[in-house]
Amino acid sequence: MLHLHHSWLCFRSWLAGMLAVLLALAPSASSNISTSRPNILLLMADDLGIGDIGCYGNNTMRQGTENYSPGAPSADISLCCPGWRMVSSIGYRVLQWTGASGGLPTNETTFAKILKEKGYATGLVGKWHLGLNCESASDHCHHPLHHGFDHFYGMPFSLMGDCAHWELSEKRVNLEQKLNFLFQVLALVALTLAAGKLTHLIPVSWTPVIWSALSAVLLLAGSYFVGALIVHADCLLMRNHTITEQPMRFQTTTPLILQEVASFLKRNKHGPFLLFVSFLHVHIPLITMENFLGKSLHGLYGDNVEEMDWMVGQILDTLDMEGLTNSTLIYFTSDHGGSLENQLGNSQYGGWNGIYKGGKGMGGWEGGIRVPGIFRWPGVLPAGQVIGEPTSLMDVFPTVVQLAGGEVPQDRYRTTQRNNSALHRHKGTMWKVHFVTPVFQPEGAGACYGRKVCPCFGEKVLHHDPPLLFDLSRDPSETHVLTPASEPVFYQVMERVQQAVREHQRTLSPVPLQLDRLGNIWRPWLQPCCGPFPLCWCLREDGPQ
Ligand SMILES: *[C@@H]1O[C@H](CO)[C@@H](O)[C@H](O)[C@H]1NC(C)=O
Ligand SMILES: *[C@@H]1O[C@H](CO)[C@@H](O)[C@H](O)[C@H]1NC(C)=O
Ligand SMILES: *[C@@H]1O[C@H](CO)[C@@H](O)[C@H](O)[C@H]1NC(C)=O
Ligand SMILES: *[C@@H]1O[C@H](CO)[C@@H](O)[C@H](O)[C@H]1NC(C)=O
């Protein structure tokens, strides 16, 4: 995809030393071109499926692709089981409110922090769903500027279906329904008591009648307030520490993001820089500009993917114009696979994961964890190649740190590399073991259509004993479960994997639960609000800086 021409390189799978793999490709190039301290441009799509992309075989999605290498890709982390630095014990996998207190702890070392120390200009444009405040609405303890970025423009939260007034709501409708239900119960109680009192059938005083009526009114007001809060107050844009639009205006968001990227690149063209463009695309509600609407062969979702592809093209044009093409390593990927649950009637509102089973939020199924992994670094990386070596999104950290001449923190266990590949590889075969899989709804549907996302622990998942074994090299779609009868090395593989799991578990230690109930409830005093609370409304956009 992505204006790929032949200068791109596609990775086929996940997990390994990304840099080692990249540079092994280019032994001659690396001797004449300086491979140290390049500019780094990370492009990450939200919820894009691997099957949506031309580079990975989609021939009906119009993209800037001319000659692309067929093949499959690279890396991931499914939403099931959130990052190791942000965990919860009760099932929340992301922050639910901008006014929640959870977030990436300030004492964590991000690659942006290391690159900044190494003299890089560091910018983040787009989504930051790792928290905002701890104790007051403006302490911004979790803000990107406290995590190594010099510059931030975008949403200090995630774009959600709730940001637009339509049916694909992620939490608003659910909350409103609950509050409305309680309202109805209380209203009924109030009416019954009142009727009983008036007809002398129920011997009560007026006090409980008044209290239940008052509570009913409060709940009704609450359900309107919650709806308004979610739609308006949580869908906002900020530049550095300043709220620029609340609620954000969708028609101008894409052009503003592009202008911000362009001005960052111009300002920092003497480099080196790290720019992380964390797209709001292609998450619902699929905000798409007029000129892309109705243009693709795949409905609103396809329109949105094509618009993002155009954005990537615009960013690459800016790089070209500023003469940065050869000094910049670009990595395009997606945070995880497409969401299969995002359907409205027969319309597709979520990504397509190609031949792979499952999708976003489903733990280990390939559709959720195989994501595109596309690199460009002219003069250093050969163009038009497809690589089968596995890499992981976790490899981004050591890769960019090493390229910048920095050092990864030495005070923690490094689980990112060989450990995981040992998990998967054995004599050229790629094994995959599932200990837990989601329970689909309806049964056998291949996704959890009855919910927004599959649950990932507790009663709502299947625990397998013996675990499910697949040979991904022969069965990438995970359709044939191997058994001791069908697979001669079944027990050997299982033993090796169990050992790796035990080793991994030994390295885990408890961390504060950022996504647990207390960290993940709405706290009015933490609500970012650019007007007098609760009137969170402003428009202070004075153009990109
Ligand atoms: C690197 O140098 C070698 C010879 O010194 C040359 O053949 C090759 O084309 C150069 N590679 C690049 C990418 O410039
Ligand atoms: C291309 O992507 C669209 C959108 O996700 C999907 O509906 C379609 O099936 C894909 N086509 C191919 C050939 O994979
Ligand atoms: C950060 O602080 C928390 C709580 O004070 C602590 O549990 C955690 O280990 C610290 N993390 C690092 C990387 O220092
Ligand atoms: C954002 O903040 C950083 C650090 O405080 C500053 O260097 C940068 O110029 C700011 N950007 C804008 C647009 O104000």
Q: If you search the block for the tokens 């390939």, which residue do you land on?
A: 366
Is 52's C-beta closer than 6 angstroms to any atom of ligand 2?
yes
Phi, psi of 246 (to 5 degrees): -150, 110
**CB within 6 Å of ligand 3 — which residues?**
105, 107-108, 511-512
Beta strands in 269-407 (DSSP E): 273-278, 328-334, 343-344, 347-348, 373-376, 385-391
Q: How far apart are CA 208 and CA 17, in angstroms?
A: 67
Which residues are known catalytic residues? 80, 129
Atom of ligand 1 nearest to the CA of 379: 13
**CB within 6 Å of ligand 4 — which residues?**
145, 150-151, 239-240, 545
Atom of ligand 1 nearest to the CA of 380: 13
CA of 512 to the centre of ligand 4 (A): 30
Atom of ligand 4 nearest to the CA of 151: 1
Nearest to 218 by CA among 163, 210, 533: 210
Is 379's C-beta closer than 6 angstroms to any atom of ligand 1?
yes
Q: How far apart are CA 191 and CA 197, in angstroms?
A: 10
Q: What's the distance, Cα to Cα, between the start and end of the chain in Å?
A: 30
Given ligand 3 and candidates 87, 107, 412, which is best to mutate, with the most ligand atoms within 8 Å of its CB? 107
> Which ligand lies nearest to the CA atom of residue 263 in the structure?
4
pLDDT tens digits along 332-373: 999 999 999 987 777 889 999 999 999 999 888 999 999 998
> Which ligand lies nearest to the CA atom of residue 47 in the structure?
2
Q: How far apart are CA 433 and CA 296, in angstroms?
A: 38
Is 486's C-beta closer than 6 angstroms to any atom of ligand 2?
no
Nearest to 46 by CA among 226, 308, 240: 308
The distance from CA 541 to its chain's CA centroid, rounded to whole angstroms, is 26
Q: How far apart are CA 317 and CA 274, in angstroms?
A: 18
Q: Where are the domains of the chain?
A: 170-228
Give the burial string for 307-326 (b: 16+ CB within 10 Å, else e).
bbbbbbebbbebbeebebbe
* pTM of the predicted model as reported, rounded to 2 decimal places: 0.88
Atom of ligand 3 nearest to the CA of 106: 1
Is 260's C-beta closer than 6 angstroms to any atom of ligand 2?
no
CA of 106 to the centre of ligand 3 (A): 9
The pLDDT assigned to 502 comes to 92
Which residues contact residue 32 at a Cβ distance below 8 angstroms, ignoring those fewer than 6 apart?
none
The pLDDT assigned to 457 comes to 79
Beta strands in 176-258 (DSSP E): 237-239, 242-246
Atom of ligand 2 nearest to the CA of 338: 5
Nearest to 336 by CA among 75, 156, 129: 75
User: Is the bond preceding residue 532 a cis peptide, omega within 30 degrees?
Assistant: no
CA of 10 to the centre of ligand 2 (A): 18
Q: If you search the block for the tokens 């044009």, which residue do you land on?
A: 317
Asked if residues 423 and 14 have their Cβ atoms less than 8 Å apart, the reply is no
> Which ligand lies nearest to the CA atom of residue 343 in the structure?
2
Q: pLDDT tens, position by position, for the chain (545 residues)?
A: 333 333 455 454 333 356 666 666 654 444 444 568 999 999 999 999 999 998 888 999 876 543 333 233 343 444 444 344 555 666 788 899 999 999 999 999 999 999 999 999 999 999 999 999 999 999 999 999 999 999 999 999 999 888 987 667 888 888 888 999 999 999 999 999 999 989 988 888 899 999 999 999 999 998 888 888 887 889 999 999 999 999 999 999 999 999 999 999 999 999 899 999 999 999 999 999 999 999 999 999 999 999 999 999 999 999 999 999 999 999 999 999 999 998 777 788 999 999 999 999 988 899 999 999 899 999 888 888 888 777 788 889 999 999 999 999 887 765 444 453 344 555 678 899 999 999 998 888 899 988 888 988 788 899 999 999 999 999 999 999 999 999 999 999 999 999 988 998 898 888 888 888 888 999 999 999 998 777 888 998 876 65
Q: Atom 7 in ligand 1: which residue has the minimum CA distance?
A: 28
Is 25's C-beta closer than 6 angstroms to any atom of ligand 1?
no
Q: Atom 3 in ligand 4: which residue has the minimum CA distance?
A: 150
Nearest to 496 by CA among 421, 428, 437: 421
The pLDDT assigned to 26 comes to 55
H or E element, residue 28: helix 27-32
Which residues contact residue 365 at a Cβ distance below 8 angstroms, ignoring those fewer than 6 apart?
78, 356, 357, 358, 359, 434, 437, 478
The first and second tokens of residue 455, run together, are 């649950």
Is 29's C-beta closer than 6 angstroms to any atom of ligand 1?
yes
CA of 39 to the centre of ligand 1 (A): 21
The pLDDT assigned to 321 comes to 97
The first and second tokens of residue 421, run together, are 């590949």
Asked if residues 41 and 329 have their Cβ atoms less than 8 Å apart, the reply is yes
CA of 56 to the centre of ligand 4 (A): 38
Q: Atom 12 in ligand 2: which residue has the minimum CA distance?
A: 58
> Which ligand lies nearest to the CA atom of residue 53 in the structure?
2
The pLDDT assigned to 280 comes to 97
Is 372's C-beta closer than 6 angstroms to any atom of ligand 2?
no
